[in-house]
Homo-oligomer: A and B are copies of this chain.
Amino acid sequence: MSTSFNYPDAVSIVEVGPRDGLQNESAPLATEDKVALVEGLVAAGLGYVETGSFVNPRWIPQMADSGDVFQQIKRAPDVTYAALTPNLKGFERAMEANASEVAVFAAASESFSQRNINCSIEESIARFLPVMEAAKTAGVRVRGYVSCVLGCPYEGQIEPPAVLAVSQALLDMGCYEVSLGDTIGTGTPGSMDRLLETLVPTLSARRLALHCHNSYGQALANILVGLQHGITRIDSSVAGLGGCPYAAGASGNVATEDVVYMLQGMGIDTGVNLDALIDVGRSCCKKLGRETQSAVAKARS
């Protein structure tokens, strides 16, 4: 059996640690430590860093200082410093903070949408219209997240047509890319393969990214399936920030170190210096008082 894929020469890593990661950590990180984290990640070669979120701080106090983080970071050229913006107010704050681009989010599961953002999937899409309009006027790119693409804590398995519908809606309203989130990490190469067999022919691999959680240890295998489908944009989080694996329903993001190690081993360029990245993760974990969730970082310690 031949396995000669046309693997890509290069993959872009979307580093989500400073936002998606820290938002789901119980321990807070000081603003200056967040700034050091973002700058360290960029120095290690990451070209896209989700830097913060402009949401109501009553909902997500961990991100209350995102404006300060954006103001204080020393920026490198050609690096994308992105912000999550749930509504027009958030978008305006992101623009004041000089975010390079913004992101909106929807779910592929109706129950998850209702419980997580208090509205239906359709309503959530409609709510983002003002953000999309304002971003278009400002000439700012918008990324779309879809959560629960392979499983939902309330509904169990999610079928590909549901993911296709919401992904198509986000692209139609102006998102340049949709990041497919296996939010609870229950996906396998089987369900990922079925999902991408449905999505890629319609939406095209170049408009899709994968956002895998490693709760069930499946993330790298699922990402490998994505690469085999032609996907070249991978979300990951330094040190696997974003969920304690020892808690019930744990849902840590796949560790950037582990993704980079795999891609390097496959001869795929990421632009990332793995040793420098491991140091950045180690330093952040020390400040958080938690253990890294990167297998590579553990093995190299």
Answer whether residue A179 sits at the interface, using C-beta atoms and an 8 A cutoff: no
Contacts beyond the supplied A1-B5, A218-B261: 14 A-B pairs with Cβ under 8 Å? A1-B6, A1-B229, A185-B299, A187-B265, A188-B262, A188-B264, A188-B265, A189-B224, A193-B266, A214-B295, A216-B295, A217-B261, A218-B258, A221-B221
A264 CB, min distance to chain B CBs, angstroms: 8
Answer whether residue A161 sits at the interface, using C-beta atoms and an 8 A cutoff: no
Please state if A267 and B190 are interface contacts (CB–CB under 8 Å). yes
Taking A190-B266, A248-B301, A265-B190 as contacts, is the C-beta distance between A296 and B216 under 8 angstroms? yes
Taking A188-B265, A221-B221 as contacts, is the C-beta distance between A215 and B299 under 8 angstroms? yes
Closest B residue to A214 by beta carbon equals: B295
Kindly list chain B residues whose C-beta atoms are within 8 Å of the C-beta of A5: 1
A229 to B1, CA, bound (A): 5
A244 CB, min distance to chain B CBs, angstroms: 10
Please state if A215 and B262 are interface contacts (CB–CB under 8 Å). no
Answer whether residue A80 sits at the interface, using C-beta atoms and an 8 A cutoff: no
Please state if B3 and A188 are interface contacts (CB–CB under 8 Å). no
Please state if A265 and B299 are interface contacts (CB–CB under 8 Å). no
Total contacting residues, chain A, CB less than 8 A: 47
A interface list, Cβ under 8 A from B: 1, 3, 5-6, 185, 187-191, 193, 196-197, 200, 205, 214-218, 220-221, 223-225, 228-230, 245-246, 248-250, 255, 258, 261-262, 264-267, 294-296, 298-299, 301
Please state if A295 and B215 are interface contacts (CB–CB under 8 Å). yes
Kindly list chain B residues whose C-beta atoms are within 8 Å of the C-beta of A248: 301
Cross-interface CB contact of A299 among B216, B224, B255, cutoff 8 Å:
B216
Kindly list chain B residues whose C-beta atoms are within 8 Å of the C-beta of A258: 216-218
A265 to B217, CA, bound (A): 13
Kindly list chain B residues whose C-beta atoms are within 8 Å of the C-beta of A294: 217
Closest B residue to A1 by beta carbon equals: B230
Kindly list chain B residues whose C-beta atoms are within 8 Å of the C-beta of A187: 265
Kindly list chain B residues whose C-beta atoms are within 8 Å of the C-beta of A250: 298-299
Kindly list chain B residues whose C-beta atoms are within 8 Å of the C-beta of A217: 214, 220, 255, 258, 261-262, 294-296
A87 to B216, CA, bound (A): 40
Closest B residue to A190 by beta carbon equals: B266
Closest B residue to A6 by beta carbon equals: B1
A220 to B258, CA, bound (A): 13
Kindly list chain B residues whose C-beta atoms are within 8 Å of the C-beta of A218: 220, 258, 261-262, 265, 295
Closest B residue to A293 by beta carbon equals: B217
Please state if B262 and A221 are interface contacts (CB–CB under 8 Å). yes
A91 CB, min distance to chain B CBs, angstroms: 35
A236 CB, min distance to chain B CBs, angstroms: 12
A193 to B2, CA, bound (A): 10
